[in-house]
Chain A
Amino acid sequence: MATPVLPPPPPAAVDTVVDYFNLPCPIPFEELHREAMMSLKPDLFEGMRFDFTKMLNQKFTLNHSVFMGPTEIPSQSTETIKIPTAHYEFGSTFIDHPRLLLWGRILTDGRLNARVKCDLSENLTFKANAQLTNEPHMSHGMFNFDYKGKDYRSQFQLGNGALLGASYIQSVTQHLSLGGEVFWAGQHRKSGVGYAARYNTDKMVATGQVASTGMVLLSYVQKVSEKVSLASEFMCNYLSRDVTASFGYDYILRQCRLRGKIDSNGCVAAFLEERLNMGLNFILSAELDHRKKDYKFGFGLTVGE
């Protein structure tokens, strides 16, 4: 009798056996906490803002934005000092999808932000970031080279002030990816290493990050349903001994997106984006800091997009 043909492994076994040569590409190292950030860190503001986006053609977009309201001034005392400000921002975006992105914003107080993202080849991406101000020593520039492999990503960073950094992230199994980073800031004479892990399935994302600066960051996001996700985050700085835990929800409904969070510093925040009409969004932002008695409310309107 001929040797029996090996039966195909049962489907359950297929699920458990990891095909180590066919792992998915992990997400970039700096976007490791992307889901938790999306739910827990909406761009809260205080005052009034108005954004207008005009698409001139398929590739070119103009952006006008007005902001009025108090802005906080960093100070040594515990009391926050706010001064009323108003500025206008003009911006333009050029997208030659998916190879090239040029992005620029200029403010009336003289600040300029610019970004370039360019695919040099199939796997290599070049990114540049610049923040220029008229104050001395406050301008920043940064160049990134990203290499995207089949199941890994690596990045090399070069910034002003002799900042050098490199990071690498690798998929270990279908759901788990591990990464590490090294950085050296020559101007401040600081260097460090960091490690990170991320476990994601289509229902949840859990991440953890440790760095030699003393920072420990753990986050967990649970997608309860298509519309609702709940996020929690634990951040602890081992050296400066401050610990923050926060919990937030993110509701994406048909007419609106609502994000709320509460954290252990006594800070409560909510951010509501309501779609009034096609291309007309109304934004409400609220933030209560019970401990500092600092209450921030803002509203805004976004036209276009």
Chain B
Amino acid sequence: MASQGRRGGVSLPDRPSNSSSVLAKISRSSIVVRGKEAAGDAAFVAKKLLRSTGKAAWIAGTTFLVLVVPLIVEMDREQQLNDLELQQASLLGTPAPK
């Protein structure tokens, strides 16, 4: 960051300072630049992926809520009704119909 700030704008002529020149050299080296680009790209992709995953999850969730939840509830009710009938039949001692 600091090196970039120094690079941009009116820059003083490079002083033969030891440490700063090493830092500048490192930050200007192609590996670091490429790493920065890669990190930026990764962040962008991750953001996009997260957003689309969220959207997909939303669609899947609402679809599930509309299509499957009523089915589960009704199947459960049916099962309960069947159980109740079976219980009553066994209590009365008559064989259950069907």
A: which residues have CB within 8 A of B?
Answer: 249, 251, 253-256, 258, 260, 262, 266, 268-270, 272, 284, 286, 288, 290
Contact = CB atoms under 8 A, between A and B. Distances in A.
Interface residues of B, number: 12
B59 A290 contact: yes
**B59, B74, B75, B78: most-surrounded residue (chain A CB, <10 A):** B74
Interface of B: 59, 62-63, 66-67, 70-71, 74-75, 77-78, 81
Contacts of B59: 266, 290
B66 A268 contact: yes
Nearest to A270: B66
Nearest to A272: B70
Contact of B67 (A256, A270, A284, A290): A270
A270 B59 CA distance: 15
15 contacts: A253-B74, A253-B75, A253-B77, A253-B78, A254-B81, A256-B74, A258-B70, A268-B62, A269-B66, A270-B67, A272-B70, A286-B66, A288-B63, A288-B66, A290-B63
Contacts of A270: 66-67, 70
A270 B74 CA distance: 13
A268 B63 contact: yes
B70 A255 contact: no
